Amino acid sequence: MNPRVHDISASLIRAMHAKKRPASIDLGLGEPSLSPNLAHFEAAMRQVAERGVKYTPNAGDPALREAIARHYGYPAMDRMENVCITVGSQEAMFVAIKTLLDPARDELLIVEPAFPSYAKMAALEGIAVRSVAMSDADGFAFEAARIAAALGERTRAIVLCSPCNPTARVISADAVDRLAQALERRGGEPVWVIHDEIYREQTFVDDAGYFAKRYPHTIVTNSLSKSNALTGLRLGWILAPSDFVAAAIKVHAWVNSCTDTFAQYVARHVFDAPGALREHADWYREQRGKLLAALKESGLPFVAPEGAFYACVRLPENSSSIEAADELIERCDVVTIPGVAFGASMEGWLRLTWVGSPDQVRDGIQRIAEYCATLPV
């Protein structure tokens, strides 16, 4: 078999989930607990009855591509030719990395702490990776200078997720501008930025930065998974300059042929219904308020979430995050994700999700605080 497949390690996040018990308070989830709006599915059903579920073109339904491009309206990325519909943002990222980077010469720079799949996709493709860690002393805020300083000679792309899984930080427009300036000053072949925008509709700050608004060599990946509680629908997209999208469509076509037509019917309804992309936004804002109250009450050190639906809490000095997460499941029946799953820079931290009922989230946080109080300082 392909040795690259064999060599890549199993998921630490999945290993934690596997330990969950029926009564556990689950603060480890990576998906919304809300239910999706059935109106989108009913609209899709009417399409099925009328037109079946035939193949769409490889790149997706032209009207959906157009609607997505127009909705975001990024400069020079606002036409159908700038969009490829993908199987969730996971395939969007896989196709982006595979299309962009030449394993024989290019290197991918990952801004950490980061969701582990970027590094695993690169490993599967034989692409060299370097990483740059944001500072935990600064609550993992995105720092343009730190990222720019980490660029190597072979770095052809930077990947970052903002709003960020796991840190819940959001890159500011100012930091985007400064990083873009640094990349422009560099000269030579452009360094691309792959901006994972999957938590875009869970943004709680006013100065959020978007590379696609500022830097022409940007590839955006996104999906309906988190905005509309449609994780299982696997409906995502790449939004990028049209030359890049044309190449990405080839890769997407050989991997998956095209994305589920039913899911595209659902997405058409979401993008055609004004405000539908933000139909859950108020709930998250309210939920975040309750989370902040619970965190303050607990006394745990934490980074206040600027976006996404995670929160990072710091364990007492010298704690192992894996050991703590294991003990929290075994002794306290709370599932969390050890920080080290997202890079060495997040050792000593836990990632919590706050999409459950506020009482459960509060109870879980309280148990974590009680557990931490038992640890030697």
Write out the two tokens for 76: 């020079």
Contact 280, 200 (CB under 8 A): no
> Hey, is 204 helix, strand or coil?
coil
* Cα dist from 45 to 42, 49, 193, 297, whole Å: 5, 6, 38, 47
Please, which residue, 81 or 306, has the CB nearer to its own copies? Answer: 81
**Residue 56 near its own copies by CB under 8 A:** yes
Q: How far is the CB of 46 from its own copies (least distance, A)?
A: 11
**Helices then strands, each counted (H, E), the chain:** 14, 13
Please, which residue, 88 or 113, has the CB nearer to its own copies? Answer: 88
Closest CA to 59 of 218, 248, 205: 248
Interface residue with its own copies among 20, 31, 67, 276 (CB under 8 A) is 31
C-alpha of 3 from chain center: 28
**Residue 15 near its own copies by CB under 8 A:** no
268's CB contacts (< 8 A; 6+ apart) are: 43, 44, 47, 61, 63, 64, 67
Write out the two tokens for 268: 């058409």
**Residue 19 near its own copies by CB under 8 A:** no
Interacting span for its own copies (CB under 8 A) from 47-55, 128-136, 342-350, 359-367:
47-55
**Residue 98 near its own copies by CB under 8 A:** yes
**Residue 53 near its own copies by CB under 8 A:** yes
Contact 198, 212 (CB under 8 A): no
Interacting span for its own copies (CB under 8 A) from 253-261, 279-287, 298-306, 353-361:
253-261
Interface residue with its own copies among 99, 131, 202, 203 (CB under 8 A) is 99
Interacting span for its own copies (CB under 8 A) from 39-47, 132-140, 196-204, 310-318:
39-47
Binding mask 172-211 for its own copies (x = CB under 8 A): ----------------------------------------
Please, which residue, 261 or 321, has the CB nearer to its own copies? Answer: 261
Contact 244, 217 (CB under 8 A): no
Q: What's the longest Cα–Cα distance across the chain? A: 66
297's CB contacts (< 8 A; 6+ apart) are: 362, 365, 366
* Rg, Å, the chain Cα set: 21
Strands (E), 145-304: 155-161, 192-196, 218-223, 235-239, 302-303
**Helices 321-332 and 358-373, axial angle in degrees (round to 10):** 110
Report how many residues bind its own copies under the rule CB under 8 A: 55
**Residue 242 near its own copies by CB under 8 A:** no
Interface residue with its own copies among 22, 23, 35, 274 (CB under 8 A) is 35
**Residue 131 near its own copies by CB under 8 A:** no
Q: How far is the CB of 280 from its own copies (least distance, A)?
A: 12
DSSP β-bridge partners for residue 14: none
Please, which residue, 254 or 374, has the CB nearer to its own copies? Answer: 254
Interface residue with its own copies among 233, 311, 361, 368 (CB under 8 A) is 233
Please, which residue, 254 or 299, has the CB nearer to its own copies? Answer: 254
Interacting span for its own copies (CB under 8 A) from 144-152, 242-250, 267-275, 290-298:
242-250
- Token look-up 């490889």 returns 58
Q: How far is the CB of 217 from its own copies (least distance, A)?
A: 12
- CB atoms under 10 Å from CB of 251, counted, come to 18
299's CB contacts (< 8 A; 6+ apart) are: 369
Interacting span for its own copies (CB under 8 A) from 74-82, 209-217, 261-269, 276-284:
261-269
**Residue 355 near its own copies by CB under 8 A:** no
Q: How far is the CB of 342 from its own copies (least distance, A)?
A: 17
Which positions from 59 through 78 interact with its own copies, judged by CB under 8 A? none
Instruction: Return residues touching its own copies (CB under 8 A).
Output: 1-3, 5-6, 8, 31, 35-36, 38, 41-42, 45, 48-49, 52-56, 87-88, 90-91, 94, 98-103, 117, 120-121, 124, 229-234, 244, 247, 250-251, 254-263
